Structure 1
Amino acid sequence: MDDRLTPFWEAAAIYRARVRGCLLGGAIGDALGYPVEFASLDRIRATHGAQGVSGLTADGEGIVGRVTDDTQMTLFTAEGLLQAHERERLKGIGGGWSRLVRDAYGRWLDTQRLPGPPAGVRDGLAAQPWLYARRAPGNACLSGLAQDFVPDPGAALGRPGPVNSDSKGCGAVMRSAPFGLTRASAGTAFEMAARCAQTTHGHPTGYYSAGAFAAIVAYLVEGDSLEGAVLRAQRLLARHPGHEETTAALDRALGLAAEGAPTAERVETLGAGWIAEEALAIAVYCALAEPDVRRALLLSVNHSGDSDSTGAICGNLLGARHGDHRLPQEWLQAVEGRAAIAVVADDLAAECVRH
Structure 2
Amino acid sequence: MQRILGAIVGDIAGSTYEWRNTKSKDFTMFPPGSRFTDDTVMTLAVAKWLMDDPEHHHHTLVSIMQELGNRFPNAGYGRSFRHWLAIEHPSPYNSWGNGAGMRVSPVGLYAKTLEEALRLAKITAEVTHNHPEGIKGAQAIAAAVWLERQKWDGPSCKKKPCTLDEIKKFTEYNFNFSLDEIRPSYTFDVSCQGSVPQAIMAWREGETFEDVLRNAISIGGDSDTIAAMACGISNQPIPEAWTECCRALLPKDLLQINDDFLRFLRTPWKHSYKFGDGLFGGEYPIDKELARSKRKLKQILNFGITDFIDLTEEDELHPYQPYLPEGVNYYRYPIKDCSAPNSLQEVIRLCRKIAEIERNPNRKLYMHCWGGIGRTGTIVACYKLFKKGVGDATMAIQKLREDFFDCPKAKYRRTPETKAQEEFIIQFATLCSSMTESLVIAKQDRIKGSMFGRAIGDALGYAVEFDSWKGVQRKYGEQGITNYQLNDKGIAEISDDTQMTLFTANGLMMGDTRGCMRGIIGYPSCYVVDAYRDWFRTQTEPFSRMKHEAGCTWLLQIPELWSRRAPGTTCLNALQQIMSGATVRNNSKGCGGVMRVAPVALYYYRSEHIPFEELIKLGGACAEITHHHPLGYIPAAMLVGIIARILRNDITTKQDYEDACKETLNDLYRVYPEHKESVAVMQRLTKRAIEAAHDSSLDDEANIRSIGEGWVGEEALAIAIYCVSRHFGNLEKAIIASVNHSGDSDSTGAICGNIIGTIVGYKAIPKRFLENIELSEVIMAISEDLNKGCIISEFMNEVNDEQRQWYARYCDMEPAGVITHKQNHDEL
Q: TM-score, normalised by structure 1?
A: 0.89
Q: Which amino acid aligns with 1:23?
A: M
Q: Which amino acid aligns with 2:704?
A: V
Are the counterparts in 2 of residues 186 and 219 from structure 1 also a CA contact under 8 Å?
Answer: no
* Partner residue, 1:73: 500
Deviates more, 1:24-33 or 1:243-252: 243-252
Are the counterparts in 2 of residues 163 and 198 from structure 1 also a CA contact under 8 Å?
Answer: no
Q: Which amino acid aligns with 2:525?
A: S
Name which of 423, 445, 464 aligns with 1:36: 464
Name which of 279, 286, 299 aligns with 2:737: 299
Name which of 663, 684, 694 aligns with 1:232: 663
Task: Give CA-to-partner distance per residue, 1:105-145, whole Å, 9 cap, x none.
Answer: 11110110122261165971111111111111001100111
1:210 to 2:636 alignment: yes
* Partner residue, 2:702: 265
Task: Give CA-to-partner distance per residue, 1:51-99, whole Å, 9 cap, x none.
Answer: 111111236x685410001000000000111112222223222333121
* Partner residue, 2:614: 188
1:45 to 2:485 alignment: no
Question: Kindly tell me: are residues 20 and 354 of structure 1, through their superposed partners in 2, closer, same or farther at Cα, counting changes over 3 Å?
Answer: farther
Give, in angstroms, the shift of residue 189 of structure 1.
2.3
Structure 2 unaligned blocks of 5 or more: 1-431, 794-828
Question: Kindly tell me: are residues 259 and 314 of structure 1, through their superposed partners in 2, closer, same or farther at Cα, counting changes over 3 Å?
Answer: same
Name which of 79, 82, 85 aligns with 2:512: 85
Are the counterparts in 2 of residues 12 and 353 from structure 1 also a CA contact under 8 Å?
Answer: no
* Partner residue, 1:338: 776
Give, in angstroms, the shift of residue 188 of structure 1.
2.4
* Partner residue, 2:567: 137
Task: Give CA-to-partner distance per residue, 1:261-294, whole Å, 9 cap, x none.
Answer: 6521111111110000000000110011013211
Are the counterparts in 2 of residues 164 and 203 from structure 1 also a CA contact under 8 Å?
Answer: no
Give, in angstroms, the shift of residue 12 of structure 1.
2.7
Task: Give CA-to-partner distance per residue, 1:283-331, whole Å, 9 cap, x none.
Answer: 1100110132111110000000100000000000011111111112211
Deviates more, 1:77-86 or 1:172-181: 77-86
* Partner residue, 2:538: 111
Separation in structure 2 between the aligned mates of residue 5 and residue 80 of structure 1, nearest angstrom:
39
Separation in structure 2 between the aligned mates of residue 257 and residue 98 of structure 1, nearest angstrom:
34
Give, in angstroms, the shift of residue 172 of structure 1.
0.3
Separation in structure 2 between the aligned mates of residue 297 and residue 164 of structure 1, nearest angstrom:
34
Question: Kindly tell me: are residues 172 and 5 of structure 1, through their superposed partners in 2, closer, same or farther at Cα, counting changes over 3 Å?
Answer: farther
Question: Kindly tell me: are residues 263 and 94 of structure 1, through their superposed partners in 2, closer, same or farther at Cα, counting changes over 3 Å?
Answer: same
Separation in structure 2 between the aligned mates of residue 5 and residue 27 of structure 1, nearest angstrom:
38
Separation in structure 1 between the aligned mates of residue 790 and residue 433 of structure 2, nearest angstrom:
18
Separation in structure 2 between the aligned mates of residue 52 and residue 62 of structure 1, nearest angstrom:
23
Separation in structure 2 between the aligned mates of residue 211 and residue 303 of structure 1, nearest angstrom:
25
Q: Which amino acid aligns with 1:316?
A: N
* Partner residue, 2:713: 276
Name which of 430, 445, 455 aligns with 1:27: 455
Give, in angstroms, the shift of residue 163 of structure 1.
3.0
Deviates more, 1:210-219 or 1:82-91: 82-91
Q: TM-score, normalised by structure 2?
A: 0.39
Separation in structure 1 between the aligned mates of residue 773 and residue 520 of structure 2, nearest angstrom:
36
Separation in structure 1 between the aligned mates of residue 757 and residue 556 of structure 2, nearest angstrom:
25
Question: Kindly tell me: are residues 58 and 164 of structure 1, through their superposed partners in 2, closer, same or farther at Cα, counting changes over 3 Å?
Answer: farther
Separation in structure 2 between the aligned mates of residue 147 and residue 106 of structure 1, nearest angstrom:
11
* Partner residue, 1:247: 683
Separation in structure 2 between the aligned mates of residue 301 and residue 353 of structure 1, nearest angstrom:
37
Are the counterparts in 1 of residues 516 and 790 from structure 2 also a CA contact under 8 Å?
Answer: no
* Partner residue, 1:290: 727
What secondary structure does 2:595 align onto? coil
Are the counterparts in 2 of residues 186 and 214 from structure 1 also a CA contact under 8 Å?
Answer: no
1:96 to 2:523 alignment: yes
Q: Which amino acid aligns with 2:708?
A: G
